Amino acid sequence: MKKLGKQTFHMKDNVFIRDVYTIVGSKEGEGPLKNNFDMIIEDSLWGEDSWEKSELKFQKTAAEKLLNKNHMQSKIDLLISGDLLNQITSSSFSARDLQIPYIGVYGACSTMALTMGLGAMLIDGGFANNILCVTSSHFCSAERQYRLPLEMGGQRHMSAQWTVTGSGAVLLSNIGTGPTIKNVTFGKIEDLGIKDANNMGAAMAPAAYSSLKQHIIDTGIDYDLIVTGDLGTVGKGIVNKMFNEDKMSIEKKYDDCGTIIYDLEKQDVHAGGSGCGCSAVVFGAFLYKKLLKKEIKNLLFTSTGALHSPTATLQGESIPGIAHCIGIEG
């Protein structure tokens, strides 16, 4: 069986990350990665009449631009996508227009790694030549679905994170050049009882620690760079503390997409970025390019999800966390 250790799946053949495409909103376009994105959209509605329709346009455009750029419009075997909205509407409506056989997934902010992991395994399993993995999030659609009406103008908690407006699309292929996905660890749910929707970093950190540790033990690989999805400053600190207590410190080579995407001093985002789009666009615009330029030779990319349900929270439940790891070679 193509499995390493307890929980990690190993790709026998090459699964190339053939190309990526990223689109972000204005706030992300003013951050430290502003010169790295493929498109920056100033208008949060992007000409649509709702934020949900705008998010759909982000996702659909990222997918279409990536396919057009690579002349792959009719060559995709499967589309795997998901997002934060109820019934993953950005993904479903985007899939309607793309007309590609479609697998919808839900993993909250862990979605980018979830789609890439599944896609890699279906290609390595011999079922597909080309798979398109996409995700998106939008500050305005997420905020009103998960927290409070934006019009209220409520003050934000210091532990709160800022949902990234953006979409990332990743093209996986069994031919090509470039970085390859080698090992995939799908996480178990970890839940230490966090009930505060303004502290997602703390809800996700134990899951990140658990999946990262299992992946490192299963593969024995010494990664140049380990990056989590969107734990922000609070969650990143907890992960470092948990590894330090384990005497397995990863601090020197560890970073988090939620702290990379914004200028935390100047952009008033409190604990950092979050949302499915966060790890998607930081991967596409920044980490993928580091691999291409051979600045790093391997990367452990881990998207982290807080499976927060407003209904479950009202019924007294806590917020379960999950993290999926993708081991990539440059």
202: contact with a second copy by CB under 8 A: no
Tokens 């990690």, located at residue: 8
Question: Angle CA(264)–CA(268)–CA(270) in degrees, nearest 5?
Answer: 70
- State which amino acid sits at residue 171: L
Rank residues 36 and 174 by Cβ distance to a second copy and give the closer one: 174
d(CA 294, CA 262): 24
What's the token pair of residue 86? 């109820």
Taking CB under 8 A as the binding criterion, the range among 102-110, 192-200, 222-230, 232-240 that sits at the site for a second copy is 102-110
* Contacts to a second copy from residues 306-325, by CB under 8 A: 307-312, 315, 317, 320, 322
How many chain residues touch a second copy (CB under 8 A)?
A: 59
Taking CB under 8 A as the binding criterion, the range among 184-192, 238-246, 268-276, 282-290 that sits at the site for a second copy is 184-192
Taking CB under 8 A as the binding criterion, the range among 118-126, 228-236, 243-251, 277-285 that sits at the site for a second copy is 118-126
d(CA 169, CA 311): 30
Q: Are 261 and 272 in contact (CB under 8 A)?
A: yes
- Report the SS3 class of residue 63: helix
103: contact with a second copy by CB under 8 A: yes
CB of 29 to a second copy, least distance (A): 26
Q: Are 16 and 173 in contact (CB under 8 A)?
A: yes
What's the token pair of residue 256? 């988090």
Q: Which residues bind a second copy (CB under 8 A)?
A: 1-3, 7, 9, 12, 49-50, 52-53, 77-78, 82, 85-89, 92-93, 95-96, 99-108, 114, 118, 121-122, 124-129, 145, 185-189, 191, 307-312, 315, 317, 320, 322
